[in-house]
Amino acid sequence: MSRTPARRYWLTGAGSGIGAAMAEEILKTGAHLAVSSRTVAPLNDLSLRYPEQVMVVAGDLTNSQTVREIGEQIAEDWGSLDTVILNAGTSEYVDPKQFDTSIVEHVLRTNLLASSYCIDAALPLLRAGTAPHMVAMASTLTYLPLPKTEAFGASRTGLRYLFESLRIDLAPEGMEVTVISPGFVETPPMAKDDFSMPLSWPVEKAARYIFEKLKDRPLEIALPAAFMATLWPLAKQPEQVKLEIGKPMVRSQPPSKDQL
């Protein structure tokens, strides 16, 4: 009796935060995992601990040629992919008193354009895979604007639209698409924020929750549930009410970068 082949994943942003915790959850199942990040050391550590399961495909995902080469490496070594999780991104903030378009450009390139490069590389591999599944990390900020998140919110809203449109176009091929919308999760970038994070979750708890939910392939995974229960009614309020909600949450710290 033949054994079912291990599922093959490509996870971006696997060097820290939710990505690193998600990598552990995936590997515990015995799956094979290609991991991407600008930071190579944690990926190599993962490869040492799971030598038969991990493929390190590090690099700057904002470089389309680098992403193309990653796709070619996965194609050469595996020939296909079953699941792609595009988690990489940055949470750099805008200071309206010193508005800098380079910040907006950087965030859009990192969160939106880099994802499109990864989609381009992944689609042929997914079409050759089994029960293909594409997953994107958006944000609950796509529901309710918050101060100084102009660039981040715009990038994640664009990413949401990109994937929800792709979902329609890819459905006839049997390819499923899930959008993840995390609220406040205790990742390294969030630790730099100078405002309280209500109803936040530890990163390991968030990763376990997401991976468990992904088994059912929902259209969207939004977390934490208590945070979403609070946020959703607020998102339906008039714009003036949203403005009053957001004012007390203004950050005072300068923008800070996260790594892919």
CATH number at residue 44: 3.40.50.720
- Amino acid identity of residue 252, one-letter, is S
Evaluate whether residue 260 is within a structural domain: no
In a domain, 255, yes or no: no
pLDDT at 145: 74
Closest listed residue to residue 98, CA positions, set 255, 249, 227: 255
Token pair belonging to 85: 């999780």
Which range marks the domain in which residue 212 is found?
Answer: 8-249
CB 61 within 8 A of CB 89: no
In a domain, 254, yes or no: no
Model's pTM, two decimal places? 0.83
Which residues of the chain fall below pLDDT 50? 1, 191-196, 226, 232-233, 237, 240-243, 245-260
- pLDDT at position 256: 43
* pLDDT of the residue at 92: 85
Angle between helix 17-28 and helix 203-214 axes, rounded to 10 deg: 50
Residue 159: both structure tokens together:
């990413």
* Total of domains in the chain: 1
With respect to residue 256, please indicate whether it lies within any of the assigned structural domains: no
CB neighbours of 120 closer than 8 A, spacing ≥ 6? 64, 67, 68, 71
- With respect to residue 21, please indicate whether it lies within any of the assigned structural domains: yes
Residue 257: inside a domain: no
pLDDT at 224: 59
Q: Is residue 259 part of a domain?
A: no
Strand ranges across the sheet with 220-223: 54-56, 32-36, 8-12, 83-86, 133-137, 176-182, 220-223
CB 244 within 8 A of CB 186: no
Residue 203 in domain: yes
